[in-house]
Amino acid sequence: MQTQKSYEKTETGMLYLVPTPIGNLEDMTFRAIRMLKEADLIAAEDTRNTQKLLNHFEIQTSQISFHEHNSNERTPKLIERMIAGETIAQVSDAGMPSISDPGVDLVKAAIEAGIAVVPLPGANAALPALIASGISPQPFYFHGFLPRKKKDLHTELETLNKRQETIIFYESPHRLKALLEQIEKVMGPDRKIVLARELTKRYEEFIRGTVSEVSEWAQAEQIRGEFCVILEGNAHPILDQEIAEWQNWSVKEHVEKLMESDGLNSKQAIKEVSILREQPKRDIYSEYHEI
């Protein structure tokens, strides 16, 4: 067990986790600017990118590169410097350190060494996209980037399809269409989804609709910019133990049983069955009415 009082004076230095703007420099906080000025060293994901930020705010603190390819080598050295009394500010290229960015290994090592780790609030893509999506903001599940390989992506989406919370993804422009195709295949066409593109930047855009509508939009567009994807949770997740209950029923039997047990009319029951079976409502309607 460990207790940290962030602002008590200690013999060691401290690690500050400093968020940086994701596109709009006005989102840099006064406190973040002050901490970058007061730190003895800035550990930056890309020193060239961070230097532009430092120049804009007239910050002269020295930098050292710290990213996923050199974190094993750099982490012990940074810990030594903080044990010796130096204060280090860690930044990623944009947004919160450690969230789909380098930083978590340094945080763990600092905690193990008894060094105070102090997070600053600030810019990130996930929460602004969530609160402007129009989809229920809580509870939510942040997933970040999905697997690149198609088979792994499909498997991961099948697992996520059991979650009732709103789900947040990050996605790059060249993979967005494939992601939407897989979401429609695994989770169905009617789930609500929002694409938040280029948040805080000049071309910020929100695309809201069902999975099928947004997928159709993506196929017709030349996709540019980084995306935060907000996906409605599954209101009726199929748990493994529940599958056997209805998998041998016909669609007509399934609809009728829901009408009887839940007091639904046929339209409502057809909608519920389409969600449970992950099939379009029109197909369930046709089979129920034997069209």
Among residues 85, 119, 153, which one ends one of the domains? 119
Assigned domain for 2 exists? no
Residue 241: pLDDT band by 50, 70, 90 thresholds?
Answer: low
Same domain, 280 and 190: no
Among residues 204, 231, 258, which one ends one of the domains? 231
Same domain, 146 and 93: no
Q: What is the pLDDT of residue 239?
A: 63
Among residues 206, 231, 256, which one ends one of the domains? 231
Residue 291: pLDDT band by 50, 70, 90 thresholds?
Answer: low
Same domain, 252 and 203: no
Same domain, 26 and 99: yes
Distance CA 142, CA 166 (A): 8
**Two tokens, residue 206:** 């929100």
Residue 290: pLDDT band by 50, 70, 90 thresholds?
Answer: confident
**3-state helix, strand and coil shares in percent for the chain, rounded to the nearest 5:** 45, 15, 40
Strands 88-91, 116-119: pairing is unpaired
Number of domains in the chain: 3
Going by C-alpha positions, the residue among 122, 100, 67 that lies closest to residue 172 is 100
Same domain, 136 and 108: no
Same domain, 200 and 155: yes
Same domain, 59 and 155: no
Assigned domain for 77 exists? yes
Is the pLDDT at 261 greater than 60, yes or no? yes
Distance CA 154, CA 178 (A): 11
Q: What is the pLDDT of residue 63?
A: 98
The boundaries of the domain holding residue 130 are: 126-231
The CATH number for 50's domain is 3.40.1010.10
pTM of the model: 0.78
Assigned domain for 107 exists? yes
Is the pLDDT at 238 greater than 80, yes or no? no
Assigned domain for 227 exists? yes
- 170 has which bridge partners? 145, 228
Q: What is the pLDDT of residue 243?
A: 56
Residues 6+ apart with CB under 8 A from 164: 139, 233, 234, 235, 237
Same domain, 112 and 158: no
The pLDDT tens digits for 19-46 are 999 999 999 999 999 999 999 999 999 9
Same domain, 263 and 169: no
Distance CA 235, CA 59 (A): 49
Residue 90: pLDDT band by 50, 70, 90 thresholds?
Answer: very high
Same domain, 160 and 194: yes
Assigned domain for 4 exists? no
The CATH number for 170's domain is 3.30.950.10
List the alpha helices (DSSP H) in the chain: 30-38, 47-56, 71-83, 104-112, 126-131, 150-160, 176-187, 211-220, 240-246, 251-262, 266-277, 281-288
Q: What is the pLDDT of residue 277?
A: 82
Residue 94 has, within 13 A of its CA and on its CB side, a CA count of 15
Quick one: what percent of the chain has pLDDT higher than 70?
A: 97
The pLDDT tens digits for 53-77 are 999 999 999 999 999 899 999 999 9
